[in-house]
């Protein structure tokens, strides 16, 4: 293999690093199939659809960016959650602009972000056969299993390097460190000498790539400890708390008894298991009100669940952010989601319950191990915990979040946005960012 193709394979392994982990390959079958189907024919069909709708479709999609990108501080987002995590920087700095890849789904904020053209991405697909062969040598059969994900990742790095040379942004700020397009842009920034910063937008795990930014603004000691387990930590790190929680920390839930229960699910939770749990809780605890909130990216059909459980209330994640949702509830039931941390910060009782038990995901974020959440191992234990909380809910549950939120109990509590903007500004104005 020539040096060019070897380096290409190494770069794609980095870009797709989370897709080649044991953690990813051991996802529940239904979840893994939604990302990359088990059938090679279905994967081929998706590749064909991507080629037609994205690669060719981008050629005819007009791009009208409302902001000037040249010389600006780019806030790169890959989801609505990312947008909400970085919007405060846009509000604080006149030189900051929100940016996403062409065609990237940013939910209800889709029209509010600038777009980086991906029209030239199609020009780099001549690399695909050699990249697939090279990755086969580096990661083994997993390259063949995920040939579709490799196909999607081709060309991001080259197109983003071209965009960086054209616009020469002052810096790029990320809220995601593991999606293929975000990692491609990170590597492109390194190659072009563009400074990079990272704002943590949700809890992290030891399955993430090593922390690789020039400046990383993390929420607390938990995140730093986990990233140290992922590999060498690059650049400078500051612990600034959770900026997105600032507006809500002064409105903690001090209700002494649980009456309204929030239930959060995501794509890792299989709907039949979620339905069975909710049916059990509604039957056993008729005095409590339960509200289900799917993940913002969950596009599954919940119609049957709505019909089967008419007493169940619903939250629309496209219209109500997670803190607004939690504010109207006294307890949270969920599996592996950072919503547990957000609930605890608001003094909402957190109950960790695995709707769909999977060995590789047991206490994925370590919330139960560190005492943030109470682990209910069965529906009966879950119901018993809710009965107890319906009698008495402590007023100091939020203190459990100190390991995850560095500003909790300090003068900076509730001022993480200002602290993050200050640290970012100091870094941008310092010699390191201009290197």
Segment 52-78 mean pLDDT:
92
Average pLDDT value for the chain: 93
Task: List pLDDT tens digits, range 135-164.
Answer: 999 999 999 999 999 999 999 999 999 999
The per-residue pLDDT for 26 is: 85
Is residue 103 within 8 Å of residue 142, measured between CB atoms? no
Task: List pLDDT tens digits, range 296-333.
Answer: 888 889 999 999 999 999 999 888 889 999 999 999 99
- C-alpha distances in angstroms, 357 versus 17, 117, 167, 381? 25, 41, 47, 15
The per-residue pLDDT for 30 is: 78
* Distance in angstroms (rounded) separating the CA atoms of residues 20 and 146: 9
Segment 204-213 mean pLDDT:
93
SS3 assignment, position 145: helix
Is residue 252 within 8 Å of residue 401, measured between CB atoms? no
The per-residue pLDDT for 433 is: 60
| 64-116+160-242+406-435 and 247-401 have identical folds | yes
CATH 3.40.50.11190 fits 64-116+160-242+406-435, yes or no: yes
SS3 assignment, position 334: strand
Between residues 80 and 16, the one the model is more confident about? 16
Task: List pLDDT tens digits, range 20-38.
Answer: 998 899 887 878 898 999 9
Task: List pLDDT tens digits, range 227-273.
Answer: 999 999 999 999 999 998 999 999 999 999 999 999 999 888 989 99
Q: Tell me: pLDDT of 76 over 70.
A: yes
Residue 125 structure tokens: 């697909």
Q: Which one of 3.40.50.720, 3.40.50.2000, 3.40.50.300, 3.50.50.60 gives the CATH number of domain 247-401?
A: 3.40.50.2000
* Distance in angstroms (rounded) separating the CA atoms of residues 156 and 179: 11
The per-residue pLDDT for 432 is: 56
The per-residue pLDDT for 296 is: 83
Query: Cα 10 from chain centroid?
Result: 24
The per-residue pLDDT for 1 is: 59
Segment 289-295 mean pLDDT:
96
Number of C-beta neighbours around residue 430 at 10 A: 13
Task: List pLDDT tens digits, range 330-368.
Answer: 999 999 999 999 999 999 999 999 998 776 678 889 999
Between residues 199 and 201, the one the model is more confident about? 199
* Distance in angstroms (rounded) separating the CA atoms of residues 407 and 57: 46
Question: What number of CA atoms fall less than 13 Å from residue 418's CA on the CB side?
Answer: 8
- C-alpha distances in angstroms, 270 versus 98, 110, 179, 294? 34, 28, 23, 12
Q: Tell me: pLDDT of 225 over 50.
A: yes
Give the residue extent of every domain in the chain.
1-62+119-154, 64-116+160-242+406-435, 247-401
Is residue 145 within 8 Å of residue 132, measured between CB atoms? no
Task: List pLDDT tens digits, range 170-188.
Answer: 999 999 999 999 999 999 9
pTM over 0.85: yes
Task: List pLDDT tens digits, range 116-135.
Answer: 999 999 999 999 999 999 99
Segment 67-74 mean pLDDT:
95
* Distance in angstroms (rounded) separating the CA atoms of residues 348 and 345: 7
Largest CA distance in the chain: 69
């Amino acid at each position: 293999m020539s040096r060019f193709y070897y380096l290409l394979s190494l770069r794609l392994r980095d870009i797709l690093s989370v897709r080649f982990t044991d953690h990813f390959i051991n996802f529940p079958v239904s979840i893994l199939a939604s990302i990359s189907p088990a059938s090679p024919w279905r994967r081929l069909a998706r590749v064909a659809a991507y080629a037609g709708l994205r690669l060719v479709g981008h050629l005819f999609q007009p791009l009208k960016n409302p902001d000037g990108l040249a010389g600006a501080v780019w806030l790169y987002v890959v989801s609505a959650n990312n947008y909400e995590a970085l919007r405060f920087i846009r509000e604080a700095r006149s030189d900051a602009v929100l940016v996403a890849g062409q065609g990237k789904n940013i939910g209800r904020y889709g029209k509010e972000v600038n777009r980086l053209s991906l029209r030239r991405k199609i020009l780099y697909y001549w690399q695909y056969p050699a990249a697939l062969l090279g990755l086969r040598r580096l990661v083994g059969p997993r390259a063949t299993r995920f040939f579709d994900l490799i196909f999607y990742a081709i060309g991001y790095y080259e197109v983003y390097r071209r965009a960086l040379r054209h616009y020469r942004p002052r810096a790029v700020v990320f809220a995601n460190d593991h999606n293929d397009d975000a990692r491609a842009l990170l590597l492109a920034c390194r190659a072009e000498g563009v400074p990079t910063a990272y704002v943590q937008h949700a809890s992290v795990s030891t399955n993430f790539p090593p922390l690789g930014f020039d400046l990383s603004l993390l929420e607390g000691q938990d995140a730093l400890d986990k990233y140290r387990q992922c590999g060498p930590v690059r650049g400078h790190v500051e612990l600034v708390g959770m900026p997105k929680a600032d507006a809500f920390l002064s409105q903690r839930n001090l209700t002494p008894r649980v009456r309204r229960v929030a239930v959060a699910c995501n794509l890792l939770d299989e709907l039949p298991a979620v339905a069975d749990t909710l049916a059990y809780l509604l039957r056993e605890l008729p005095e409590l009100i339960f509200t289900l909130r799917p993940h913002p990216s969950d596009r599954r059909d919940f119609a049957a669940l709505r019909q089967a459980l008419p007493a169940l209330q619903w939250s629309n994640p496209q219209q109500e952010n997670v803190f607004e949702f939690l504010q109207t509830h006294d307890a949270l039931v969920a599996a592996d989601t950072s919503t547990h941390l957000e609930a605890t910060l608001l003094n909402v009782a957190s109950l960790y319950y695995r709707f769909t038990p999977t060995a590789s995901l047991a206490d994925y974020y370590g919330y139960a191990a560190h005492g943030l959440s109470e682990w209910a191992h069965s529906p009966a234990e879950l119901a018993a915990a809710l009965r107890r909380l319906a009698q008495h809910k402590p007023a100091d549950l939020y203190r459990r979040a100190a390991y995850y939120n560095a500003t909790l109990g300090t003068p900076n509590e509730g001022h993480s946005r200002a602290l993050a903007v200050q640290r970012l500004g100091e870094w941008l104005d310092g010699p390191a960012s201009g290197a």
